[in-house]
């Protein structure tokens, strides 16, 4: 999984209050993989100084995951 995906998972859980279980179901990935992605995303966000507003720009630069954001926001 790439860094964009990890940062997405981190902010989905911490800022958008999506549960790990919800991400596991929606993304069809194991809970362990999501947990690792969240931790990796936390490290990346801290290293790059990303906050949710900065993350949106960072994330949208990789449009491949944009439908996931829409899906999480509109179905939570």
For residue 76, what pLDDT band results from cuts at 50, 70 and 90?
very low
Residues 36-46 pLDDT 10s: 999 999 999 99
pTM comes to 0.69
Domain ranges in the chain are 3-75
Q: What is the average pLDDT across 49-63?
A: 66
Q: Scan for tokens 């949710």, then name that residue.
A: 52
User: What are the residue ranges of helices labelled H in 15-65?
Assistant: 20-27, 31-48, 52-60
Q: What is the reported pLDDT for 75?
A: 47
Residues 10-37 pLDDT 10s: 988 888 778 888 888 888 899 999 999 9
């Amino acid at each position: 999984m790439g860094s964009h995906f990890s940062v997405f998972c981190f902010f989905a859980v911490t800022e958008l209050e999506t549960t790990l279980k919800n991400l596991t179901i929606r993304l069809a990935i194991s809970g362990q993989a999501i947990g690792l992605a969240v931790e990796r995303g936390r490290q990346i966000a801290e290293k790059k100084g990303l906050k949710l507003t900065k993350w949106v720009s960072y994330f949208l630069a990789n449009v491949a995951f944009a439908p996931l954001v829409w899906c999480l926001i509109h179905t939570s």
